[in-house]
Amino acid sequence: MADQSIIRITKEIGEIQKNSDLSLAVAFRDRDVRNVKAMIIGPHETPYEFGFFEFSFKFHKEYPRKSPTVTCTTTNGGRCRFNPNIYSSGKVCLTWRGEPGEEWSAAQGLESILLSIQSLMSSNPYENEPGFEHANDTSDKANQRDYVAKIRHETLRISVIQKLEDILGITSANDSPATPIEYDPQTDGLDLDDSSAIWEPFKDLYKRRFLWYYDTYLEAMKDAKKDVKDGQVFTRMPFEGGSNAMEGKFNYTELEKRLQNIKISLNAELDRWATEGLSAKNKDTTVPVNLSRQFDQIKESFKRDDVPHNVELENGNPFVWVITYFGRPMTNFDGGMFRIKLHFSPRFPDEQPRVRFLTPVFHHRVTSDGILCYIPNANRCEDVKQHIEAIFNALEEENPPYDPRTQVHPEAHRLYWGGAEGRKIYNRKLRRSVQRSMEDF
């Protein structure tokens, strides 16, 4: 008889992965389902906004009767305490770990734990400190402000910038030398506690999300620099002590430079993809053959569509597609014509396409430099047609639900959801970009 705990864990992981949640991700190695890596993206309008926070879960054989062991691994090597309830040692204190009436229940699961942790990442995390309700009003308000300020700085420095530098192999003068993180299939199945096994299942996700949120990171830094100065020392909180603290100095000028270098490195990666792709094409390997076949099928399907979209290969390279998108009648895109470039990795579909508008457009799902925020079907990530459909749907969605996790163009986002007057201004800006799009052809 199959292990019931394994069945339960596998089901819970599958449900999270199937939902394509934009703020949660989970992964495990095929032969080690009891050891799970999870990622939480910091919530909007908090000092954790769009930071990448990783956690390790170790599920016991008694699960779900016994809760899993949860450890935060985004701690800057045990030097940073990101929350009163998330220690620099990695310990995570949740309410079900001892409060009367709030003990662990077998009805809970992986997703509920992640959501509980995410709820700790609030706009005022100082409130998570036990005894907060009895704090002195005057000193308390100052501590709250100072605590939020340093969490915002360290979220950007450690969970975003340092994380991407490690992945890309960028060495910073003020942090430990970085080594590119690569997945080695030869280490698959090794225990997660084995430090010799480098495993980074969210590497591609981090790169794509960084490009989505780049403008928001820059805007957050610009706003923060109004309140703190470079070299200003972090304020120690009453509940911090010894190594279980968040020590350091503000230096947003340096962080901006490092953020920009990451963007440059990610753009350069696309050139390497194209070069590697041509080499793979010449060797007639699986990925270019698959992409070429899908290209031919999609090109033929466009010919049969009522709207005359078109697709071409750049320099005959099956890893670089250029789509000509014609705005659908009776929408804000009516009369527009946009060129959209799709870059494919030689490791597609393990690495997902990156999509950029070559024709400028003012849209709440498109960054200022053309990166499109779209959500493909997680169960069909190898199907390029469903990627293209998701791209068009992201542009043409008439009444999208408010979702700050898709905030990739701060100005457009504020206007779109800024009331009737803001929506009018947004629509005018979008229509102007549509009218100008024809000038590029």
In a domain, 278, yes or no: no
Catalytic residue flag (residue 373): no
Going by pLDDT thresholds of 50, 70 and 90, the confidence category of residue 190 is very low
Strand ranges of the sheet holding 354-357, from the earlier edge strand across to the other edge: 310-314, 317-326, 337-343, 354-357
- Predicted TM-score (pTM) of the model is 0.90
Tokens of 373: 């925020």
* 150: containing domain: 4-267
Number of domains in the chain: 2
Give the model confidence (pLDDT) of 385-411 as tens digits: 999 999 999 999 888 999 999 989 999
227 and 263, same domain (yes or no)? yes
End-of-domain residue from the set 219, 235, 267: 267
HSE-CB for 239 with a 13 A CA cutoff: 21
Is the pLDDT at 192 greater than 90, yes or no?
Answer: no
401 and 324, same domain (yes or no)? yes
End-of-domain residue from the set 240, 267, 294: 267
292 and 229, same domain (yes or no)? no
187 and 230, same domain (yes or no)? yes
133 and 262, same domain (yes or no)? yes
CB atoms closer than 10 angstroms to residue 224: 18
Indicate the residue type of 365: R
236 and 305, same domain (yes or no)? no
* Pairwise CA distance, residues 192 & 174, whole Å: 28
* Pairwise CA distance, residues 426 & 420, whole Å: 10
263 and 299, same domain (yes or no)? no
Give the model confidence (pLDDT) of 138-182 as tens digits: 567 888 999 999 999 999 999 999 999 999 999 866 554 333 333
92 and 125, same domain (yes or no)? yes
Q: For residues 322 and 314, is the Cβ–Cβ distance under 8 A?
A: yes
Give the model confidence (pLDDT) of 306-337 as tens digits: 668 999 999 999 999 999 999 988 888 999 99
* Pairwise CA distance, residues 211 & 368, whole Å: 11
End-of-domain residue from the set 212, 237, 267: 267
In a domain, 272, yes or no: no
CATH of the domain at 401: 3.10.110.10
Set 72, 80, 93, 381: catalytic member:
93
Lowest mean pLDDT among 4-18, 86-100, 231-245, 285-299: 86-100
207 and 331, same domain (yes or no)? no
Residue located via tokens 């305490």 = 81
Question: Would you put residue 20 in left (φ > 0), alpha (ψ -120 to 50) or beta?
Answer: left
